[in-house]
Structure 1
């Protein structure tokens, strides 16, 4: 394990596009970004529709140009345990307006350890949307943890009943995300679906599908230290995570550093075989990405790597967007989105083929009325070029 990425040689070509400098570095071409918040809107609020609290935001584009947002609708309390709905909202105009929420899954009223989000995934080749969640993630009054998936074949308008993926990947606790899964666009394994998360007392793990989600199998992992034992502060414990595909076809995983091992910052690793294996040789700590051990999001878009989190070493506050032109070797700028209480965040963008590639969309937990608790999920539109 190391702190800085290995030295590399980057060849840079400078041209101009509509008066702006455009750079080609290695595999990627990018235009300098000047991010600016152009809209913010609360789309879930504590107490809405008699739900005690909405938490764990996830968001994705669809191949048809819509946005799908999902959250845990915690019925009776804000606890991670207890019964919940899986709440979904859909926007067909880039988040300006949202359709009424749907409760697309319901774990009942007496369950002690209800559903936990989760990851959302767009299969762009088939036009299918997936949402993954876990039951019995904390083993509270239950003995077997299971992973479930629901699908939409009509751009998020309707959703199927859940399918128990544990029949294929096993019944160890697997908590996807929270965030989004990816479909590989570049070799190796073009078209592969990849969802990553963490497991109890084990570390980070990915599951993969090469048949558009019909079947799933276990992929690579990074073991916690100690392994299969309770962990504590100071231990190496990679936790909630987000994969992205880089322009060389590798997959980068940005992970929550649960035990603050080495630093209060993010753990980064890469796979070069489509998430089948991960090696400690490719693992490092990005000390520029300070983090209080909280779920965050990263996104590779238009040749730029973006990262958003509660930028603090020990508090969930100061939601900040950062960006890098060299795959995270250095970070070139930052934009503060909200200085107050802010926790879990998720991020997405449309591909350029949909002509919406000049914006990012962020969904995050916001403490609107309290200095130390979240009471809303807020949607933010960020213009990338000012």
Structure 2
């Protein structure tokens, strides 16, 4: 049996909309559910805060809303949390001016100061309080990159200690292509070998041929130590998902991203999570091929090569999601959904592991 709670509902607690969920479990067993609290509308720009709710009982109940990162009246978004081996929670996120729309950024009409910049802060008390934010843009964003976003969803710390944050960016258009439609989505990741003190760029996947353009990416470490990366693909290649592997902790890709036609999905973000007991790689995302609906968990027993449907939540509208291991018996799914639209709530679903195997 599964059970569902609703930590975030549009139009409540001072925000017009909540979007872009991310969830992690701390060493003490506290669940931290993050998302963007969009103050004035559901738009991707404007006054946006990274907000947080905490659960001490596996997602059955949630505490009061907290602001985990803000930018005054501007944008703080794309939360990418990760729980370190020390117990510290890192929160990598983006800041931008409220007026900086994606179209204007892609066209190069926004200054670097107002554009997408990268920040990090941390908590040593399970998300109750947070350190002062620190900007790391110069370490992880190359000159000339325009749009920039972390994950969405959780980041991860590899077994060797390295922190890996999937991300995406756009390149300036070339030749006669100058409009927002010439948005060359590209993929990269942020890496840290000192638990978030300093950062550098890992792999780059920059493809402007219109076949696979890497967008929102999620990652998991496989039992053999490879990193599996799965991305939203907006280009007309087979299907709307693509994936890749890294054998060196995210520094490079074994091969560039290639279509993953085994995952039926619309153009939308998805999440991956590697279970160790049992050995199973999970993917969450809408299962309808053409619409953001039918939230489904898929499973792979071969490192992402092939997939099967493991659990269908329901047939309602649904969009972005994130997966977390709650305990030995339970996986948690934090996802956007609603009765008539995908952005009415961000709900949390407890899924028994035995339902996935």
Normalised TM-score (structure 1): 0.80
Quick one: distance in 1 between partners of 2:14 and 2:140? 36
Question: How far did 1:150 drift?
Answer: 1.7
User: Which of 162, 165, 170 is the aligned partner of 2:141?
Assistant: 170
> What's the offset of the Cα at 1:347?
0.6
Q: Per-residue deviation at 1:105?
A: 2.2
Displacement of 1:373 in angstroms is 4.3
| 98, 108, 111: which one aligns with 1:143 | 111
Which of 318, 321, 327 is the equivalent residue of 2:303? 327
State yes or no: 1:385 paired with 2:354. Answer: yes
Structure 2 equivalent of residue 132 of structure 1: 92
Larger radius of gyration: 1
Q: Is the counterpart of residue 274 in structure 1 residue 234 in structure 2?
A: no
Given that 2:293 and 2:342 are in contact with CA atoms closer than 8 Å, whether structure 1 keeps it comes out as no
Cα deviation for residue 334 of structure 1 reads 2.5
Structure 1 residue runs of 4 or more that deviate by more than 4 Å after TM superposition: none
Distance (whole Å) between structure 1 residues aligned to residue 137 and residue 212 of structure 2: 26
State the distance in 2 between where 1:170 and 1:346 align: 25
Name the residue aligned to 1:374. 343
Q: Describe the SS at the equivalent of 1:115.
A: strand
Q: Which residue of 2 aligns with 1:24?
A: none
Report the counterpart of residue 315 of structure 2 in structure 1.
Answer: 339
C-alpha displacement of 1:70: 0.5
Cα displacement (A) at 1:239: 0.4
Alpha-carbon distance, 1:279 to partner: 4.1
Among 4, 24, 45, the alignment partner of 1:81 is: 45
By how many angstroms is 1:295 displaced?
Answer: 0.6
CA–CA separation in structure 1 for the residues paired with 2:234 and 2:122? 31
1:206 to 2:189 alignment: yes
- 2:18 — aligned with what? 54
| Unaligned segments of structure 2, at least 5 residues | 172-184
Aligned residues, how many?
326
Name the TM-score, length of structure 2 as normaliser.
0.87
Say what the alpha-carbon RMSD is for the aligned residues. 1.8
1:328 to partner: Cα distance: 2.4
Deviation at 1:332, TM superposition (A): 3.9
Distance 1:130 1:142 in 2: 28
CA shift for structure 1 position 235: 4.2
Q: Would you say the 8 A contact 1:365–1:374 is kept in 2?
A: yes
Q: Which residue of 1 aligns with 2:208?
A: 225
Distance, in Å, in 1 between the alignment partners of 2:59 and 2:245 is 32
In structure 2, how many angstroms separate the alpha carbons of the residues matched to 1:363 and 1:272? Answer: 29
